[in-house]
Each structure stands twice: as C-alpha cells, then as structure tokens.
Amino acid sequence: MSTKAVLWRPMYDPEGHALLTENGIEPAVVDSPDADQVKAALGNANALWVRTPERVTAEVMDAGPGLVVISTSGFGTDNIDIPAATERGILVVNHLGFGRTPVAEHTVMLLLACLKQLTWGDRGARDGTAWSERQGLEVFELEGRTVGIVGLGYIGSELAKKLRLAFNCRVLAYDPYVDPRLVHASEVELCADLKDMLGQCDCLAMAAELTEETREIIGAEELAALPQGAVVVNAARGRLIDLDALQAALESGHIRGAGLDVVFPEPLPEDHPLLKNPKVVFTPHTAGVTKEASKALALSAAQQITTALKGEMPPYPVNPEVWDTPQSRRPG
C-alpha cells in the first residue's frame, strides 16, 4: 500500500503517525485552521484525520476526490458533514469509549473547583488577599449533593458511577435515547422531563453529544429552572449551553459558578464577558486529552484508517451504510 493521509493538526500522540507510516501510509500534517491549506493537501490523499474544532464541509471533501475515509479525533462527529460524506461514498469513523474516564474525571474536577472556589483560592493565596477574606468565603462539599447529568452515554454513565461511589451523590439523568442497560448499570434516576430534573439539582453536568436537538439545550429557561446557587459544568460540547444566558445567570447570582472545558466559539473572543467573570473556571478543551487517552485515540485512528484503506470495514463506522453502496469509495 502506498497512499497518503492528511492530518488536519498533528495527532495527539506521535505513535499514531508512526503506525500509519509502518502501514505504508504517508502522513501529511496541516497544522493550521485554514481550510484552503487542507483542500490543497487533499488532492492526492485517501484519508483525512481531523481534530475538533476544525470543520470538514462538503467543500473540503470535494477537494479530495480520492478520499476513502475520514476519522474524527474522538467520539463526537458534529464537526463533520456526515450526510455530505455519505453522499460522496466516504466512510466516517469515530472512537467509541476512549474519553469516558478522562472526561468524567475532568468533570468531577470542574465541579470541585467551583464548589471549593479553587481559582479564587489560588489567586488569593499568591497575592496575599485570601487570608483576610477567607472567613466570609462560601465553599461547599460535593458529598451527598444532587447532581443532574444531561446525556447518559459512556461518559455520562462513568461520571454517574464516580459521583455515586466516591461522593455519595444522588445522581439524576436526562437522556431520551439512553440505552436501558446503561441506566441499570449506572444506578441513576432517569428523568423523563428535563426541567423537572433541573429543579432538583445542586449541580448540573453536561455529557451529551451535540445534535440539532441538544444545541443550546440549556438556555435561559433551563438555567432559571435550577435552584438558586446551583453550579453548572460542561466538558462535552460548547454549544450545549447558551453562554449569553449563562453569563446573565451568573451576574444575577442565580447560578453560583460554572466550569467550562468547552465553549463556542473556541477560543472565545478576548472581550467576552465570561472570560472576566471570576465565578467561571476555564480549561482549554483538555478534558479528553490525557496522555493515556491521547495515545489510545491516535492508535485507534491510525488503525481504522489503515483498515479502511485495505478495503475492510473498521470497527467504529459512523455511516456504515455507505460501505456497500455503488457510490462507495471503498478500495477494490
């Protein structure tokens, strides 16, 4: 096999690059958000790997007439036009379950950071102001609190387990499409109505995929449905929460604090009010990129690309129906 894979941004771990090379696939890295550079590189490529938030549109795909497979850098596929890929006979693959542990851990960290006033404490301990202010500080325990989770897939169910077992939390979940086996395994209380769940939550954690149904699923009305002083964290997708509504709820004091690993757009404009809000804890979309997960994801992507270019079905296809259709670009 002698072929080329375009990597839109380097893979998270160089072992993915090495695995492609070992299988006779030349990795060509485009380390830029410029889609025109990617389109120029795709002219003689058979595979594309893309890191969120870069977007693979129909126009990008049309620049690669030899594209057989497109791989995400994780589980989410909202940055790839799946219908356009299917129409063009291009297989899309993602990577199931690799982020469940790191993202669940990160979400717990954000909850604790908000409840314990971590950023205030760090800043104040460094400049000396915390010592005189700490008597009036309100910090809280996660132990025994009611936490609502939006989305009970692999990450949501792992988060529920950690909250129950480590912190004795009451865990509620909202997910109209959840696998009943996950509900049973997670030992959570499944809520049929989102606002009913929100009204019972001390803390709200996002763990849903981004779809048309979940886009800004948490807006002004949903934030208002949370009890006074609730905490909101998001390590899933930035567009699950209306950030303007979140800023307003923080300013009013209705929401005590927020922890955000993801935002929209990424990064936020320098003048965005949330960046100046001391009630918000930020991390730069790093929840899923631990060393362990990064290696696993890179190897999974390289292996699935290799498998597809050999004419075999990879283990995690997003649009498997394309593989055996007349328009499929499947080799052979």
Residue 235 and residue 288: Cα distance in Å, rounded?
9
Residue 105 and residue 103: Cα distance in Å, rounded?
5
Tell me the Ramachandran region of residue 253: left when phi exceeds 0, alpha when psi lies from -120 to 50, beta otherwise.
left
If you compute the radius of gyration of the chain from its CA atoms, what whole number of angstroms results?
22
Distances in Å between the alpha carbon of 195 and those of 148, 175, 246? 11, 12, 16
Catalytic member of 237, 256, 329, 330:
237
Q: Which residues neighbour 150 within 8 Å (Cβ) at sequence distance 6 or greater?
A: 156, 173, 174, 175, 194, 204, 205, 206, 207, 208, 214, 217, 218, 240
Crossing angle of helices 100-115 and 154-167, in 10° steps, is 50
Residue 264 and residue 110: Cα distance in Å, rounded?
18
Helix, strand, coil share (%) of the chain residues, nearest 5: 40, 15, 40
Name residue 273's amino acid: P
Catalytic status, residue 237 = yes
Structure tokens at 226: 């949370």
Structure tokens at 246: 């979140």
Among residues 269, 206, 270, the alpha carbon closest in space to that of 238 is found at 206
Catalytic member of 256, 285, 329, 330:
285
Tell me the residue ranges of DSSP E strands in the chain.
3-8, 25-30, 47-50, 69-71, 91-93, 146-150, 170-174, 189-190, 203-206, 230-234, 255-260, 280-282
Please list the active-site residues.
237, 266, 285
